[in-house]
Chains A and B, each alone.
Chain A
Amino acid sequence: MKLFTYERADSAQAAATDAAAAGAKFIAGGTNLLDLMKLQVETPTKLVDISRLPLDKIEERDDGGLTIGALVPNSDLAADARVIERYEVLSRALLAGASGQLRNKASTGGNLLQRTRCYYFYDTATACNKREPGSGCSAIGGFNRILAVLGTSEHCIATHPSDMAVAMRALDATIVTQKADGDRRRIAIGDFYRLPGDTPHIENVLEAGELITGVELPAPVEAARHLYRKVRDRASYAFALVSVAGVVAMDGDTVKSASLAFGGLGPMPWRNPAVEAAIVGKPVTTASFEAAADALLADARGYGSNDFKIPLARRTLIASLRELTGTN
């Protein structure tokens, strides 16, 4: 870990201003940042401690939705009665992630910004375009079991490791920020992440110093079923190979609305409107579920040791849709 300076911010605005300097990083729970700093994958020269800012509330919105403070720990968010009642998929996704100890520290904002678990990103002895732009991608042609099959580029095949963010994507969350210049932004989660392209080190649209202050969830879909299904290599405490977050409402035997997002497959919590279009307004049939899987995986590409994710995602999606539509 390299030396850094440390400041405790006393307001969101001050934090944003403090962190606008080159080399500065916010620190809240620290569960991901310190992990990476110890390995010198992250080498901030300045840490701005935002952990004591009053951003730890979950508040009602007029539209029946919720605003979640950026510092609400994963544990508290998962256990919040309103979240459980309205957004079960979010609660389930949070509980599928990490461990009890980590969830007690990890924050809502930090979880959105969690960095990839790519083996090569984590290891400074190897090339990685995300860690060191231009150095190359060791995962392509290497071992890539946990890496992406969608949205990859020749420069990076990393996955986004969060479970929470997958549920947030299915819920059409909006990310609220405070910028260094005093402005505030609301960014739809669908616009928040960036594909790797030839700049895999740039993972989202945040500007220097821009602080996530909260996440807004729109009013819940009425009478919908929620599901978060995670496939992993052991029963607990492992990252997703494939995960499905789904919110589906039915009208008799017809799918009235569907919102589906996926983890473990892409460089960001993945959502593709064509998947939902394949089933919405249609009666539930195996054919429509197959069509949804076809839509999801049309552009999927395996890199060797992660080829299995393509059939695994297909099967997991179909089983998830059966459960979400009550056609088990």
Chain B
Amino acid sequence: MFEKIFGAGDTNSLTMNKPHPDSLLDTGVQGVISRPIDRVDGPLKVSGTATYAAEYQLDGLAHGVLVGSTVGKGRIVSVDADAVLGMPGVIDVVTDFDTFLRNAQQGGETTAPTQGVRDVDYFGEIVAIVLAESFEEARAAAYALPIEYEKKEGQYAFQAHRTEGETPPDSVTPAKFTQGDIDQAMRDAAVTVDVTYVTPSQNSAAMEPHASIAVWNDDALTLYGAYQMPTSDAQQLAKSLGVSDKKVRIIARYIGGGFGSKLGIAPESVAAAVAAKKLGRPVKAVMARGQVFDATVRRSNTEQHMRLATDRNGRLTAIGHDSLTSNLPGEDYFEPVGIGTHLAYAGENRSITHQLVPLNLTLSGSMRAPGEAVGMIGLECAMDELAEKLGMDPIELRRINDPAVDPEKDVPFSSRALTQSLDKGAELFGWNKRNAMPGQRREGEWLIGMGVASAVRGNQLQQSAAGIEIRPDGTATVASAMTDIGTGSYTILAQIASEILGIPLDKITMKLGDTIDPPAAGSGGSWGAASAGSAVYLAAEQARKKLAAAMGVEEAELTLKDGYAIGDNRQVPIGELVGSGIEVTGEIKPGSQEKQTTQASFGCHFAEVGVNAVTGEVRVRRMLGVFAAGRVLNAKTARSQCLGGMTFGIGAALTEDLIHDQRTGKLVNRDLAEYHLPVNADVPQLEVHFIDERDIHANPIHAKGIGELGISGAAPAVVNAIYNACGVRVRDMPITCDKLLAGLPPM
């Protein structure tokens, strides 16, 4: 998709068709890579001067407030704009039954999402935008706007419709995969587990609500948006509006968290753009928190039928992970529940399938670690049940089923440190103090238990580009349409450039989140650091070639450090080698290495929880994770990513539960008071450890994704610890106190 944008420039392009054993990051001497360097954007963030989408100050700005439908399924009969046009400050009421987005788009798509809002398919679907001179005036008019609906029968209750699932088209994982004969293997097995786990719908709940400011300049649109993937988002937006890709620019320099919810464009973007065009003024549309819940993306609820079979020694002979998830009618996206199961463990007979149940609820799409985040609850809790049935330590069970090669494709893993992680974690955590018999450890009212789970997250490389400019004064700019959604992109990309070019970090200006810069895949699927990082690497490599030529030395003889080029017994300031300045571009593309090796990051989680023997309240007392994800680019930001993932796991295990009214499809707990994100007091001091690793098959920087590894397996470690604490096996997430009460000791 980038060719036409790249043109022929001074571009260093690499397709990962073979391993890349040598990395300039290992030979660089600047000494910044991997180091726990403070974020380069940190001072702006802590001083309140980093600018987020809704904060651009523009003349003539009109304030838009979005209006959501008040039926779960129906058709709009009328929108009585006249009833509110006379209210103070009101400029206009804009709706466009054909152009407005029915739902948000999935990440990475280059087409428009489903459009059209005359027919309403879920409660809270954005059907209009009210424009006024102030936010207060727009909000009042939005509440007052009369909209008449013809109500229709919708499908809201998963339980009532669960048998209506169909197999969707394949996506990042096959919808349906079978190998051998799992039914026979279950019958023949010495030990089996056959259980069903259920997880609820969840919301990413990034702290910054979705926001867009749309500005038209003749027929060109600039959208200040809160988006994770501006390059493809601009294409989605252009298609939605029926304008050329070239006419849409998205600027997203700071994004207040995404976690999947800002991968694709959401309804506020098109509403703002349509309104801005009609008004001939810039329009700002910020979703209210309830609208973020109603009308962006949810992670689908899942029902996971787990089947595990082993011989007498605990060797897996079968793995079944058959799931049901839900989405809007006509939407193909399915939560790829079994994606991690494909490569987690050995076992000849396999069934990993997905069925999709159509429901009139908010679009389901990606939320942090789509697939593994919830799929590993089913797999890793079932493994815990299996270990207990076998009378085997859960770590030992995992060790003996750790496959030497991909258990389905018979290709090697690019790197795999699962057992190594488990061993390291067990020692650091004090796993040997765990009593395998549940309910044995009590401190006052608290029953204490420990749990473990593996962490597996597939690695992805996405086509991305970055440019580097080096100026005669020795300073440099690194630019890409990559984003930093809190992951640390600004910092790690600067570190990569600095390490290779020997230009000190404080001489490098980072420019991200703008589609006028080289296109990139953006932040999602944990591919951001590896993809954009490789692009920066390749650009820096190209610049280094030029510097070597200018110096008149072989590349191998050139040392770049602290702003100087050193070689041939000379030391020259880098700025003096670039003439009037150089500009280079790097571009990475995925290649056949993805097929020749199975690439994933691995790790494990250990949790110790207390279950209150009176009330069933659960508190995580400590948690430890060990992660192996190739090269760690910045020990500080990587650790923070893992902390965040682990905390998402705590939320998934204990508190987060999007609840829809079964009668109307209306989201009941659509605020942050009742959708319970973990608060500070829910999270103890978490320990994060890394395994030093390089993945030469993944990319030239040898790094793999880490942002989602920390969530994968985190929840099941907590769930397994709850069982160990109190002996109650809950298979219905989240484990709120009511689900434990009946199994607690009598008073």
Footprint of B on A, CB under 8 Å?
1-3, 38, 40, 117, 119-120, 122-126, 138, 141-143, 145-146, 231-239, 241-242, 286, 308, 311-312, 314-316, 318-319
Please indicate the chain A residues that have their CB under 8 angstroms from the CB of B682 in the complex: 234-236
B671 touches A234 (CB 8 A): no
A235 touches B681 (CB 8 A): yes
A119 touches B681 (CB 8 A): no
Docked Cα-Cα span, A143 to B670, in Å, equals 13
B contact residues, range: 35 or more
Is residue B680 contacting chain A, with contact meaning CB distance below 8 A?
yes
Specify which of A3, A143, A239, A308 is in contact with B738 (CB 8 Å cutoff): A308
Docked Cα-Cα span, A47 to B678, in Å, equals 35
Docked Cα-Cα span, A187 to B617, in Å, equals 37
Docked Cα-Cα span, A125 to B664, in Å, equals 11
Given known A235-B682, A311-B741, contact A125–B70 (CB-CB < 8 A): yes
Interchain Cβ contacts under 8 Å between A and B, 21 examples: A1-B136, A3-B140, A38-B139, A119-B668, A119-B674, A126-B666, A142-B661, A143-B661, A231-B737, A233-B736, A234-B678, A234-B679, A235-B619, A235-B681, A235-B682, A236-B681, A308-B737, A312-B737, A315-B744, A318-B614, A319-B445
Closest chain A residue to B684, Cβ basis = A235
Please indicate the chain B residues that have their CB under 8 angstroms from the CB of A125 in the complex: 70, 123, 666
Docked Cα-Cα span, A238 to B656, in Å, equals 13
A315 touches B741 (CB 8 A): yes
Given A126-B666, A235-B679, A308-B738, 15 more pairs with CB closer than 8 A: A1-B136, A2-B140, A145-B738, A233-B676, A233-B737, A234-B681, A236-B682, A311-B741, A311-B742, A312-B615, A315-B615, A316-B614, A316-B615, A319-B614, A319-B747
Q: List B382-402 residues whose CB lies under 8 Å from chain A.
A: none
Docked Cα-Cα span, A234 to B617, in Å, equals 8
B617 touches A231 (CB 8 A): yes
Closest chain B residue to A122, Cβ basis = B671
Q: List B606-620 residues whose CB lies under 8 Å from chain A.
A: 614-617, 619
**What is the CB-to-nearest-CB distance from A197 to chain B, in angstroms, rounded to a whole number?**
25
Please indicate the chain A residues that have their CB under 8 angstroms from the CB of B674 in the complex: 117, 119, 146
Residue among A142, A232, A234, A312 with max Cβ neighbours from chain B (10 Å): A234
**What is the CB-to-nearest-CB distance from B675 to chain A, in angstroms, rounded to a whole number?**
10
Given known A119-B674, A234-B655, A234-B678, contact A318–B668 (CB-CB < 8 A): no
B139 touches A312 (CB 8 A): no
Please indicate the chain A residues that have their CB under 8 angstroms from the CB of B140 in the complex: 1-3
State the total of A-B contacts with C-beta under 8 angstroms. Answer: 93
Is residue B1 contacting chain A, with contact meaning CB distance below 8 A?
no
Please indicate the chain B residues that have their CB under 8 angstroms from the CB of A242 in the complex: 615
Is residue B420 contacting chain A, with contact meaning CB distance below 8 A?
no
A143 touches B143 (CB 8 A): no
Docked Cα-Cα span, A124 to B445, in Å, equals 42
Specify which of B664, B673, B738 is in contact with A312 (CB 8 Å cutoff): B738
**What is the CB-to-nearest-CB distance from A319 to chain B, in angstroms, rounded to a whole number?**
4
**What is the CB-to-nearest-CB distance from A324 to chain B, in angstroms, rounded to a whole number?**
14
Is residue B509 contacting chain A, with contact meaning CB distance below 8 A?
no
Q: What 7 A-B pairs have minimum CB-CB distances, sorted nearest first? A: A308-B738, A235-B681, A236-B681, A319-B614, A125-B70, A119-B668, A143-B668
A238 touches B737 (CB 8 A): no
Is residue B635 contacting chain A, with contact meaning CB distance below 8 A?
no
Please indicate the chain B residues that have their CB under 8 angstroms from the CB of A142 in the complex: 661-663, 668
Closest chain B residue to A161, Cβ basis = B673
Specify which of A117, A123, A231, A239 is in contact with B615 (CB 8 Å cutoff): A231
Please indicate the chain A residues that have their CB under 8 angstroms from the CB of B139 in the complex: 1, 38
Please indicate the chain A residues that have their CB under 8 angstroms from the CB of B668 in the complex: 119-120, 142-143
A238 touches B676 (CB 8 A): yes
Please indicate the chain A residues that have their CB under 8 angstroms from the CB of B36 in the complex: none
**What is the CB-to-nearest-CB distance from B547 to chain A, in angstroms, rounded to a whole number?**
53
Is residue B54 contacting chain A, with contact meaning CB distance below 8 A?
no
Is residue B520 contacting chain A, with contact meaning CB distance below 8 A?
no
Docked Cα-Cα span, A232 to B741, in Å, equals 14
Cβ proximity bits B711-747 to A, threshold 8 Å, 1 near / 0 not: 0000000000000000000000000111001101001
